[in-house]
Amino acid sequence: MKIITIIGARPQIIKAAAISRAIHTHFKDQITELIVHTGQHYDDNMSAIFFTEMGIPEADYNLSVGSGNHGAQTAKMMEGIETILLKEWPDALLVYGDTNSTLAGALAAAKIHIPVVHIEAGLRSYNKSMPEEINRITCDHCSTLLFSPTQQGIENLIKEGFSKAIHTKATVDRPLIFKTGDIMFDNSMFFSNIAKEKVGIVEQLELTKEAFILCTIHRDSNTDNTENLNQIIRGLLQIQRVSNQSIVLPLHPRTRKKMTELLNPSVAKELSDNSKIHVIDPAGFLDMISLESNCSLVITDSGGVQKEAFFFQKPCVILREQTEWVEIVENGNALLVGSSEEKLIEAYHQLTTKKDYTYPPFFGDGHASEEICRLMLEHL
C-alpha cells in the first residue's frame, strides 16, 4: 500500500512521527509512505526543528506555501497537492487534525476519488466561528476511514449520520469509523523518556520543577483582538504576582508581532519588566514535553497542549469558550475561561487548590498508531 501523508503545521509534523515510526517498526514491508509538507508553518523554529527532533524522514515534496488568507493559502495547497496526487496515485491520502493543510488535502484527494484517511476525526467544539471547526467537519465528510481518538468523537460522528457498523471495504459513500486512541499519547509516552535524558529548556531557564507555569497563546480570537489579548496578559501578570512562580510563554512569530501591535503600552512594559515571565521562541517538541511534564499548571488556547497537560497529569486553564476535548473539562482536569482576566485568575485559584484529580484512560493505551496502520491495511 502506498500512502501520501499531508503535513504543514507543527501539530501535524509531530503527529506524523507516530505513524512513520509505526510503519518503519511494524509495517515497512506492507506500507510505503510519501510525505508532502505544505509549508503552512514556514518559520524554521516552527517546522524544521520538529523534523530533526522527531526523526521524521525528510519530506518527499515541499509546497512552500507559507502564510496567507484562508482562501488563498488553501487554494495554493490544493493545487500543489492535486499535482502530486495525479503523479503518484497513492492508495490513500492521510491527513491529521483540522488545519488548512488538512482541508486542502482532503478536498484535493476526494475530488479525484483517492480515499481520505482522517486521524483525529469526530472532534467538535460546536463553535463554527473557529476556522478549525469548519475544516474538521468538512474533512470528516470527505473521508473514507475516520479514526477518532476518543469515544466522544465516535458519538459526534454518529450524530452526524455516520454508521458504527463494520464492513470489509470502506468507501467514501460507506465510510468506516473507529476509536483508536490518540497518536499524541503514543508520542508523549515515547518521547518523554528521551526528554528526561536531555539537558533542556527547564535547566536553561533555571526553572524549579513543579514551581512554574506554562502558557501558550496562538488563536486568532485571542491574538487578533486587542481587548482579549490585553485581558489575558493582565491575567498572567496577576497570576505571576500572586503565585510568585515563573511563567514560560513560548510565542509563535505571529503572536509576538500581534503583541507588539496590540498590547497597551503599560501592559507591554509590565510584561517586559517582569523577569519571572520568560517570553521565548517556539519550543521544540522535546522541550515542550519537558515544560509540560515539569510545570505546576498549564494555561493555553491550544487543543494539543491542553490534551498533553492531561497526559502529564497537570491541571489546565483553557483560554477558549469551548473545547473539542470535552472529557478533560467534564472530569475536572481543566476549566474553560475564554479570554476573561477575572475568570483566568479565578480558574488559577480553583485548580491550584483542588486535590482530588483523576486521569482516566480517555486517550487509549499508547498504541494508536499501530492500530491505525492495521486498520488501513484491512479496510482499504
Cell digits for 148?
477518532
**DSSP class per residue in 273-342:** H-TTEEEEPPPPHHHHHHHHHH-SEEEES-HHHHHHHHHTT--EEESSS--S-HHHHHTTSEEE-TT-HH
Cell digits for 329?
473539562
Letter for the amino acid at 171?
A: T
Neighbours of 203 (CB within 10 A): 11
Tell me which of 218, 252, 278, 379 is the catalytic residue.
218
263 backbone dihedrals φ, ψ, rounded to 5°: -70, 135
- Asked if residues 224 and 252 have their Cβ atoms less than 8 Å apart, the reply is no
* pTM for the structure as a whole: 0.86
Domains of the chain, first to last: 2-182+364-379 (3.40.50.2000), 194-353 (3.40.50.2000)
115 backbone dihedrals φ, ψ, rounded to 5°: -60, 135
Q: Can 24 be counted among the known catalytic residues?
A: no
Per-residue DSSP letter, 345: H
List the chain pLDDT tens, one digit each, 380 residues.
999 999 988 778 888 889 999 999 999 999 999 999 998 765 555 556 666 667 677 889 999 887 788 999 999 999 999 999 999 999 999 999 999 999 999 999 999 999 999 999 999 999 999 899 999 999 999 999 999 999 999 999 999 999 998 889 999 999 999 999 999 999 999 888 888 877 689 999 999 999 999 999 999 999 999 999 999 999 999 999 999 999 999 998 889 999 999 999 999 999 999 999 999 998 888 899 999 999 999 999 998 899 999 999 999 999 999 998 999 999 999 999 999 999 999 999 999 999 999 999 999 999 999 999 999 999 99
Q: What is residue 39's predicted lDDT score, i.e. its pLDDT?
A: 87
Nearest to 224 by CA among 269, 257, 187, 189: 257
Q: Say how far apart CA 314 and CA 308 lie, in whole Å.
A: 9
What's the chain's Rg over C-alpha atoms?
20
Per-residue DSSP letter, 172: S
Tell me which long-range contacts 351-357 makes (C-beta under 8 A, separation of at least 24): 351/297, 351/315, 351/316, 351/317, 352/243, 352/296, 352/297, 352/315, 354/315, 357/313, 357/315, 357/332, 357/333
